[in-house]
Protein backbone atom coordinates (compact mmCIF):
# COMPACT_ATOMS: atom_id res chain seq x y z
CA UNK A 1 0.00 0.00 0.00
CA UNK A 2 1.31 3.42 -1.02
CA UNK A 3 0.21 6.67 0.60
CA UNK A 4 -0.69 9.28 -2.02
CA UNK A 5 -1.41 12.95 -1.44
CA UNK A 6 -3.63 14.44 -4.16
CA UNK A 7 -3.84 18.23 -4.38
CA UNK A 8 -7.02 19.40 -6.07
CA UNK A 9 -8.49 16.16 -4.73
CA UNK A 10 -12.09 17.39 -4.72
CA UNK A 11 -11.85 18.70 -8.26
CA UNK A 12 -13.02 17.22 -11.52
CA UNK A 13 -9.93 15.16 -12.38
CA UNK A 14 -8.59 14.93 -8.83
CA UNK A 15 -11.67 13.25 -7.42
CA UNK A 16 -11.64 10.62 -10.16
CA UNK A 17 -7.96 10.03 -9.38
CA UNK A 18 -8.70 9.58 -5.67
CA UNK A 19 -11.33 6.98 -6.57
CA UNK A 20 -8.88 5.11 -8.82
CA UNK A 21 -6.06 5.04 -6.26
CA UNK A 22 -8.38 3.89 -3.47
CA UNK A 23 -9.80 1.16 -5.69
CA UNK A 24 -6.23 -0.07 -6.23
CA UNK A 25 -5.81 -0.47 -2.47
CA UNK A 26 -3.80 2.64 -1.68
CA UNK A 27 -4.21 5.18 1.09
CA UNK A 28 -5.15 8.65 -0.17
CA UNK A 29 -4.95 12.10 1.41
CA UNK A 30 -6.96 14.67 -0.54
CA UNK A 31 -6.26 18.39 -0.30
CA UNK A 32 -8.48 21.05 -1.87
CA UNK A 33 -9.51 24.61 -0.98
CA UNK A 34 -12.93 23.98 -2.59
CA UNK A 35 -12.69 27.13 -4.70
CA UNK A 36 -13.70 25.01 -7.67
CA UNK A 37 -13.72 21.48 -6.24
CA UNK A 38 -16.82 20.07 -4.59
CA UNK A 39 -17.31 17.82 -1.57
CA UNK A 40 -20.00 15.98 -3.59
CA UNK A 41 -17.25 14.75 -5.92
CA UNK A 42 -15.80 12.76 -3.02
CA UNK A 43 -18.88 10.68 -2.23
CA UNK A 44 -17.27 7.48 -3.55
CA UNK A 45 -13.87 8.17 -1.97
CA UNK A 46 -15.46 8.67 1.44
CA UNK A 47 -16.87 5.14 1.37
CA UNK A 48 -13.32 3.85 1.87
CA UNK A 49 -13.33 4.97 5.51
CA UNK A 50 -9.93 5.50 7.10
CA UNK A 51 -8.12 4.84 3.84
CA UNK A 52 -9.25 8.28 2.63
CA UNK A 53 -8.66 11.56 4.42
CA UNK A 54 -9.65 15.00 3.17
CA UNK A 55 -8.40 18.45 4.17
CA UNK A 56 -9.91 21.76 3.10
CA UNK A 57 -6.67 23.66 2.55
CA UNK A 58 -5.03 26.01 0.05
CA UNK A 59 -1.77 24.70 -1.43
CA UNK A 60 -0.16 27.99 -0.38
CA UNK A 61 -1.05 27.53 3.29
CA UNK A 62 1.62 27.31 5.99
CA UNK A 63 -0.29 24.39 7.49
CA UNK A 64 0.48 22.19 4.50
CA UNK A 65 3.81 21.11 6.01
CA UNK A 66 2.20 19.76 9.18
CA UNK A 67 -0.20 17.77 6.99
CA UNK A 68 2.74 16.25 5.10
CA UNK A 69 4.53 15.51 8.38
CA UNK A 70 1.49 13.79 9.83
CA UNK A 71 0.65 11.59 6.83
CA UNK A 72 4.09 11.09 5.20
CA UNK A 73 2.95 10.57 1.60
CA UNK A 74 5.28 8.65 -0.68
CA UNK A 75 3.86 10.10 -3.89
CA UNK A 76 2.24 13.49 -4.50
CA UNK A 77 -0.23 13.93 -7.35
CA UNK A 78 -0.23 17.69 -7.84
CA UNK A 79 -3.39 18.79 -9.64
CA UNK A 80 -4.38 21.77 -7.49
CA UNK A 81 -4.24 24.94 -9.62
CA UNK A 82 -5.81 28.11 -10.88
CA UNK A 83 -6.94 26.60 -14.17
CA UNK A 84 -8.72 29.35 -16.12
CA UNK A 85 -6.81 31.05 -18.93
CA UNK A 86 -9.16 34.07 -18.76
CA UNK A 87 -8.49 34.53 -15.04
CA UNK A 88 -4.75 34.40 -15.65
CA UNK A 89 -5.05 37.11 -18.31
CA UNK A 90 -6.97 39.35 -15.91
CA UNK A 91 -4.90 38.62 -12.81
CA UNK A 92 -1.43 37.20 -13.58
CA UNK A 93 -0.32 37.69 -9.97
CA UNK A 94 -3.11 35.49 -8.64
CA UNK A 95 -2.27 32.87 -11.24
CA UNK A 96 1.42 32.88 -10.28
CA UNK A 97 0.61 32.90 -6.58
CA UNK A 98 -1.36 29.66 -6.83
CA UNK A 99 0.36 27.88 -9.71
CA UNK A 100 3.98 28.84 -8.98
CA UNK A 101 4.21 29.73 -5.29
CA UNK A 102 1.62 27.11 -4.35
CA UNK A 103 3.58 24.47 -6.24
CA UNK A 104 6.80 25.57 -4.56
CA UNK A 105 5.09 25.13 -1.21
CA UNK A 106 4.10 21.60 -2.23
CA UNK A 107 7.65 20.84 -3.39
CA UNK A 108 9.20 22.22 -0.21
CA UNK A 109 6.86 20.08 1.88
CA UNK A 110 7.79 17.10 -0.29
CA UNK A 111 11.50 17.80 0.20
CA UNK A 112 11.21 18.11 3.97
CA UNK A 113 9.21 14.91 4.43
CA UNK A 114 10.95 12.49 2.08
CA UNK A 115 8.40 12.25 -0.75
CA UNK A 116 9.91 10.04 -3.45
CA UNK A 117 7.94 11.33 -6.45
CA UNK A 118 5.71 14.15 -7.65
CA UNK A 119 3.38 13.66 -10.63
CA UNK A 120 2.44 17.08 -11.96
CA UNK A 121 -0.60 18.11 -14.00
CA UNK A 122 0.88 20.33 -16.70
CA UNK A 123 -1.13 21.86 -19.52
CA UNK A 124 -0.52 20.56 -23.01
CA UNK A 125 -3.01 23.06 -24.38
CA UNK A 126 -1.13 26.14 -23.13
CA UNK A 127 2.50 25.53 -22.17
CA UNK A 128 3.68 25.01 -25.77
CA UNK A 129 2.16 28.27 -27.03
CA UNK A 130 1.00 28.37 -30.66
CA UNK A 131 2.47 25.16 -32.11
CA UNK A 132 4.38 25.21 -35.40
CA UNK A 133 3.49 21.59 -36.20
CA UNK A 134 0.56 19.44 -35.15
CA UNK A 135 0.21 17.21 -33.31
CA UNK A 136 2.81 18.89 -31.10
CA UNK A 137 5.63 16.81 -29.63
CA UNK A 138 7.27 17.25 -26.23
CA UNK A 139 10.43 18.46 -27.99
CA UNK A 140 8.59 21.73 -28.68
CA UNK A 141 8.87 22.54 -24.97
CA UNK A 142 12.42 23.89 -25.21
CA UNK A 143 11.39 26.70 -27.57
CA UNK A 144 7.85 27.18 -26.31
CA UNK A 145 6.39 30.64 -25.80
CA UNK A 146 3.07 30.40 -23.94
CA UNK A 147 0.55 33.08 -24.86
CA UNK A 148 -1.13 33.29 -21.43
CA UNK A 149 0.13 33.67 -17.85
CA UNK A 150 -1.50 30.31 -17.12
CA UNK A 151 0.68 28.67 -19.76
CA UNK A 152 3.74 30.47 -18.40
CA UNK A 153 3.05 29.30 -14.86
CA UNK A 154 2.55 25.71 -16.00
CA UNK A 155 5.79 25.83 -18.01
CA UNK A 156 8.03 27.28 -15.30
CA UNK A 157 7.04 24.60 -12.79
CA UNK A 158 8.75 21.98 -14.94
CA UNK A 159 12.05 23.82 -14.43
CA UNK A 160 11.42 23.72 -10.69
CA UNK A 161 10.76 19.98 -10.88
CA UNK A 162 14.14 19.55 -12.55
CA UNK A 163 15.76 21.61 -9.81
CA UNK A 164 14.20 19.55 -7.00
CA UNK A 165 15.26 16.33 -8.67
CA UNK A 166 18.83 17.55 -9.18
CA UNK A 167 19.37 18.97 -5.71
CA UNK A 168 16.96 16.99 -3.53
CA UNK A 169 16.44 13.67 -5.33
CA UNK A 170 12.68 13.99 -5.76
CA UNK A 171 11.51 12.04 -8.80
CA UNK A 172 8.90 13.58 -11.06
CA UNK A 173 6.74 13.12 -14.13
CA UNK A 174 4.85 16.00 -15.75
CA UNK A 175 1.73 15.10 -17.69
CA UNK A 176 0.89 17.72 -20.32
CA UNK A 177 -2.86 17.29 -20.46
CA UNK A 178 -5.01 18.06 -23.48
CA UNK A 179 -8.56 19.36 -22.91
CA UNK A 180 -9.92 16.93 -20.32
CA UNK A 181 -13.67 16.32 -20.20
CA UNK A 182 -16.11 13.93 -18.57
CA UNK A 183 -18.45 13.43 -15.60
CA UNK A 184 -18.03 15.87 -12.67
CA UNK A 185 -16.66 18.69 -14.80
CA UNK A 186 -18.22 21.96 -13.67
CA UNK A 187 -20.71 23.21 -16.28
CA UNK A 188 -20.77 26.63 -14.61
CA UNK A 189 -17.03 27.33 -14.58
CA UNK A 190 -14.88 29.20 -17.10
CA UNK A 191 -13.01 26.11 -18.29
CA UNK A 192 -14.55 22.99 -19.78
CA UNK A 193 -16.41 23.79 -22.98
CA UNK A 194 -17.99 20.33 -23.21
CA UNK A 195 -19.63 20.58 -19.79
CA UNK A 196 -20.70 24.17 -20.44
CA UNK A 197 -22.20 23.38 -23.85
CA UNK A 198 -23.90 20.22 -22.55
CA UNK A 199 -25.59 21.96 -19.63
CA UNK A 200 -26.84 24.80 -21.82
CA UNK A 201 -28.17 22.46 -24.48
CA UNK A 202 -29.94 20.24 -21.97
CA UNK A 203 -31.63 23.37 -20.64
CA UNK A 204 -32.80 24.17 -24.18
CA UNK A 205 -30.43 27.13 -24.46
CA UNK A 206 -28.05 27.91 -27.31
CA UNK A 207 -24.43 28.16 -26.13
CA UNK A 208 -22.07 30.87 -27.36
CA UNK A 209 -18.98 29.95 -29.35
CA UNK A 210 -16.16 32.44 -28.82
CA UNK A 211 -14.50 33.20 -32.15
CA UNK A 212 -15.46 31.62 -35.47
CA UNK A 213 -15.58 28.07 -34.07
CA UNK A 214 -12.89 26.79 -36.41
CA UNK A 215 -10.31 26.77 -33.62
CA UNK A 216 -9.38 23.22 -32.66
CA UNK A 217 -8.67 21.32 -29.46
CA UNK A 218 -7.62 17.82 -28.44
CA UNK A 219 -10.33 16.39 -26.16
CA UNK A 220 -9.32 13.52 -23.86
CA UNK A 221 -11.68 11.64 -21.54
CA UNK A 222 -11.12 11.87 -17.79
CA UNK A 223 -10.82 8.10 -17.22
CA UNK A 224 -7.99 7.94 -19.76
CA UNK A 225 -6.22 10.82 -17.99
CA UNK A 226 -6.58 9.20 -14.57
CA UNK A 227 -5.06 6.02 -15.97
CA UNK A 228 -2.01 8.02 -17.06
CA UNK A 229 -1.60 9.46 -13.55
CA UNK A 230 -1.84 6.00 -12.01
CA UNK A 231 0.83 4.66 -14.36
CA UNK A 232 3.08 7.68 -13.79
CA UNK A 233 3.38 6.88 -10.08
CA UNK A 234 5.93 4.23 -11.03
CA UNK A 235 6.96 5.14 -14.58
CA UNK A 236 8.11 8.00 -16.78
CA UNK A 237 10.61 9.49 -14.32
CA UNK A 238 12.06 12.85 -15.32
CA UNK A 239 9.82 13.13 -18.38
CA UNK A 240 7.31 15.60 -19.74
CA UNK A 241 4.64 13.45 -21.40
CA UNK A 242 1.69 14.50 -23.54
CA UNK A 243 -1.67 13.03 -22.55
CA UNK A 244 -4.24 13.54 -25.29
CA UNK A 245 -5.56 11.84 -28.41
CA UNK A 246 -3.52 13.47 -31.24
CA UNK A 247 -6.87 14.35 -32.88
CA UNK A 248 -7.98 17.92 -33.62
CA UNK A 249 -11.67 18.67 -33.20
CA UNK A 250 -13.07 22.10 -34.06
CA UNK A 251 -15.43 23.85 -31.67
CA UNK A 252 -18.01 23.92 -34.47
CA UNK A 253 -17.66 20.16 -34.90
CA UNK A 254 -17.96 19.64 -31.16
CA UNK A 255 -21.11 21.78 -31.09
CA UNK A 256 -22.72 19.65 -33.81
CA UNK A 257 -21.94 16.40 -32.00
CA UNK A 258 -23.35 17.66 -28.71
CA UNK A 259 -26.42 19.13 -30.39
CA UNK A 260 -27.14 15.73 -31.94
CA UNK A 261 -26.74 13.96 -28.58
CA UNK A 262 -28.86 16.46 -26.60
CA UNK A 263 -31.47 17.03 -29.34
CA UNK A 264 -30.87 20.78 -29.60
CA UNK A 265 -31.90 22.31 -32.92
CA UNK A 266 -30.60 25.52 -34.41
CA UNK A 267 -27.29 27.21 -35.04
CA UNK A 268 -24.87 28.40 -32.34
CA UNK A 269 -24.36 32.00 -31.33
CA UNK A 270 -20.92 33.50 -31.83
CA UNK A 271 -19.05 35.93 -29.59
CA UNK A 272 -15.72 37.70 -29.60
CA UNK A 273 -12.70 35.43 -29.29
CA UNK A 274 -11.12 35.43 -25.85
CA UNK A 275 -7.60 36.71 -25.23
CA UNK A 276 -5.04 33.99 -24.62
CA UNK A 277 -6.88 31.26 -26.54
CA UNK A 278 -4.88 29.20 -29.03
CA UNK A 279 -6.01 28.77 -32.63
CA UNK A 280 -5.15 25.08 -32.92
CA UNK A 281 -4.08 22.37 -30.53
CA UNK A 282 -3.43 18.63 -30.61
CA UNK A 283 -0.83 16.56 -28.77
CA UNK A 284 1.41 13.80 -30.08
CA UNK A 285 1.15 10.98 -27.51
CA UNK A 286 3.75 8.54 -28.85
CA UNK A 287 6.16 9.27 -25.99
CA UNK A 288 3.53 8.46 -23.34
CA UNK A 289 2.94 5.13 -25.07
CA UNK A 290 6.64 4.37 -24.80
CA UNK A 291 7.32 5.73 -21.30
CA UNK A 292 4.08 4.76 -19.56
CA UNK A 293 2.53 2.10 -21.75
CA UNK A 294 -0.42 4.49 -22.05
CA UNK A 295 -2.80 5.14 -24.92
CA UNK A 296 -6.21 6.86 -25.04
CA UNK A 297 -9.05 4.41 -25.54
CA UNK A 298 -12.25 6.47 -25.31
CA UNK A 299 -13.71 7.70 -28.60
CA UNK A 300 -14.94 11.28 -28.43
CA UNK A 301 -18.57 10.49 -29.22
CA UNK A 302 -18.68 7.79 -26.51
CA UNK A 303 -17.18 10.16 -23.98
CA UNK A 304 -19.57 12.93 -24.95
CA UNK A 305 -22.56 10.63 -24.44
CA UNK A 306 -21.33 9.64 -21.00
CA UNK A 307 -20.71 13.25 -20.04
CA UNK A 308 -24.17 14.37 -21.21
CA UNK A 309 -25.78 11.46 -19.33
CA UNK A 310 -24.01 12.54 -16.14
CA UNK A 311 -25.06 16.18 -16.47
CA UNK A 312 -28.61 15.14 -17.31
CA UNK A 313 -28.74 13.12 -14.07
CA UNK A 314 -27.44 15.88 -11.78
Cα separation, 176 vs 223, in Å, equals: 15
Residue 116: φ, ψ to 5° = -90, -25
Query: Buried b vs exposed e over 95-111: b needs ≥16 C-beta within 10 Å?
Result: bbebbbebbebbbebbe
Cα separation, 79 vs 32, in Å, equals: 10
Catalytic residue flag (residue 219) = no
Report the 10 Å Cβ neighbour count for 66.
11
Element (H, E) at 55: strand 52-56
Cα separation, 145 vs 183, in Å, equals: 32
Smallest Cα–Cα separation from 218: which of 253, 252, 180?
Answer: 180
The active-site residue out of 120, 150, 181, 219 is 150
DSSP 73-101: -SEEEE------HHHHHH-HHHHHIIIII
Residues marked active site are found at 150
Amino acid sequence: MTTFLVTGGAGFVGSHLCDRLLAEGHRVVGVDDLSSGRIANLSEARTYGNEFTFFNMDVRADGLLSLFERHRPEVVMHLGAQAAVATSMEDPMLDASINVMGTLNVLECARRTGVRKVVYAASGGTLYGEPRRLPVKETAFSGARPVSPYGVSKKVVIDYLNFYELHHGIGWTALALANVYGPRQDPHGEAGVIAIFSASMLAGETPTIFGDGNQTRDYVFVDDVVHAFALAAERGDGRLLNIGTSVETSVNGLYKMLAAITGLAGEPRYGQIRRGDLRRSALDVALAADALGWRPWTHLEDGLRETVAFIRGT
